Every structure is written in structure tokens, then in C-alpha cells.
Amino acid sequence: MAKSALLRGALESKYGRTVIATAPFGKTGHESTRTIFGAAALGSVSQAEADATLEILLEHGVNHIDTAASYGDSELRVAPWLARDRNRFFLATKTGKRDYSGAREEIRRSLDRLGVERIDLLQLHNLVDVIEWEFALREGGAIEAVKEARDEGLIRFIGVTGHGLTVAKMHLRSLERFPFDSVLLPYSYIQMRDPRYAADFEALMALCGERGVAVQTIKSISLAPWDGRAQTAATWYEPLREQADIDLAVHWVLSRPGIFLNTAGDIELVPKVLDAARRFASEPAEEAMEGLTTNRRLVSLFS
């Protein structure tokens, strides 16, 4: 690859424009685009809107989809894409069930809704609450159903996801209990200014690096919690909206080697996040990130 392309971290697509760089997704053997499509954005849209989003993904070379059983119609919207070309995407979904029977049923329901015989990555969804964590990872818990599905060839890899201030610490506990192939958690400039969160995140990164565990990040373009204000986007948080602001937030995340960025849960924001990722070249200056924090009044989602 030419040096200029390495500096951009991108390749040329069939559309004649730069696309998003790839990196090894942990020890799975898959080279995933460093920006992963967060298919929560498809939870309440029409198939036509979903198909238009697919064209944007293809334009940017995205080859990894992350959905969940609880994301409304998302699995159903993804299914026609997979029917056309299953091998194009590394496919991830999630179960939020904590018991064996519930997780077993939900995994098979996801296979049916997605219209596939096998899922690449099945994740235990938002496993942060201590009681739920203990229940899900004990004998007779959801982890038993997930391991069974892997043994049967229905899934290939197993991950864990989460939100909240304690998520990194809980992921550390999860990795001590079970050899998960991936973790997913929030990562943004403003959230990492919380010293407690940052310390736990760094400890998690170190362990994942040692073990070859893939690290996916979410909420890169968060501005603040909604906190009772009228919700004007499909995201769980109030997002940044201006392309220049999104560029800074996305480029800051991608400047850290060894992590992946999942797109925002609103189809209107997906093109902006992918465009920012496509143009990533280097880490933004600290002054620029401080300016973004001050000018947009960024607030940590968890405190």
C-alpha cells in the first residue's frame, strides 16, 4: 500500500473513493473495518430506509454489522442484505436474556430473523448489573446456552457488552470468569476525562491487549444525556450533529490503535460518522478537543 494511503488509513473502494481502514478483530481472524455499523439505527425504520443505509455502508467499505435481539426490527432489516451476500459482513448480534432457556430461545430466534445458519459473534447484552452478571455467568445461566450454540456451530465467537460508569470494571470481571472474544463499552473524549472511568478503561485495554480480545466502543459522538429534554434523535444520548464536531470526536477515538468505533443509533447520523471515519488521518490537537468540549458543552454520560 502506498505511504499516503497508510497515512490516511484507507483503501480505494469500487466507488472510486477512500474507504475505512480495517484491523484484526481480536483473535477471530477477521479484518473488520475500524468503524462498525451499529444496526440499532435500523430498529424503527422501513426496509427502504434500511436498504439506502446499506448503500452507504458499501460505499465506505464497512464489513461488520452489530445488531441485537432487542433492537426493534433491526435483525429483520439486515436479513435481506445477508440473503444477497452473507459473506460480505462479519455478523454480530446480542441476547439480553440471563437464563439458559431464555438465551437459548433468543439465539435461535435471532438466527431465524436474520435468515442465517450461523452468527459470527453472539454477545451477552449490557451485562453490568452485579446480580444479573452472577446469574448469567453461572451454571444454568445464559453463558451455558451461548457455549452450547457455539459447540453446535450456530455461533463462532462470544462477546460481552455494557454501558454505565462501572462497565469497564465489570468487563474485567467477565474476562476473569470466561474467555470472551470481544468487549463493547463507551469511549469518548469527554467520558475519558472522568478519572475513575479512565483508570478502569485503561486496565481493561491492557488485559484485552494481552489476551487478544477485540475492543468495540460506542457513544463516540455523545454530547450529553437527554435529561428530560425533547429527544430529537434515535440515540440514547443527545449527539453531536455538525460534521466538523463529529469529525473531531470520531478522529479522536480512531487515533487510538486497537479499538473499533460503532456508529451511532440514528440513520441520519450514520453517514456523518462514516464520512468522518473515511477521512481519518491523525489525532486532533488537544486544543481542538478542549474547544469542542467548551463550545458544545460536552457532558459525561455517566458520573
The pLDDT assigned to 303 comes to: 78
The pLDDT assigned to 17 comes to: 61
Is residue 10 domain-resident?
A: no
CA–CA distance, 241 with 87 (Å, rounded to integer): 33
Is residue 122 domain-resident?
A: yes
CB 277 within 8 A of CB 34: yes
End-to-end alpha-carbon separation of the chain, Å?
43
Chain segment 168-208, per-residue pLDDT in tens: 999 999 999 999 999 999 999 999 999 999 999 999 999 99
- Residue ranges making up the domain that contains 132: 26-296
- Start-end of H helices in 38-86: 47-59, 74-84
- Identify the CATH number of the domain in which residue 77 sits: 3.20.20.100
Is residue 281 domain-resident?
A: yes
The pLDDT assigned to 227 comes to: 87
Is residue 105 domain-resident?
A: yes
The pLDDT assigned to 229 comes to: 80
Is residue 263 domain-resident?
A: yes
CB 66 within 8 A of CB 36: yes
The pLDDT assigned to 4 comes to: 31
pTM of the model: 0.93
The pLDDT assigned to 15 comes to: 53
Is residue 8 domain-resident?
A: no
Is residue 31 domain-resident?
A: yes
The pLDDT assigned to 111 comes to: 98
The pLDDT assigned to 274 comes to: 98
CA–CA distance, 295 with 285 (Å, rounded to integer): 15
> Measured in whole angstroms, how far is the alpha carbon of residue 234 from the centre of its chain?
16
Per residue of the chain (303 residues), give pLDDT as tens. 332 333 334 455 555 567 899 999 999 999 999 999 999 999 999 999 999 999 999 999 999 999 999 999 999 999 999 999 999 999 999 999 999 999 999 999 999 999 999 999 999 999 999 999 999 999 999 999 999 999 999 999 999 999 999 999 999 999 999 999 999 999 999 999 999 999 999 999 999 999 999 999 999 999 999 988 888 899 989 999 999 999 999 999 999 999 999 999 999 999 999 999 999 999 999 999 999 999 999 999 997
The pLDDT assigned to 105 comes to: 98
Amino acid at the residue 153: G
Question: What is residue 220's DSSP assignment?
Answer: T
Overall domain count for the chain: 1
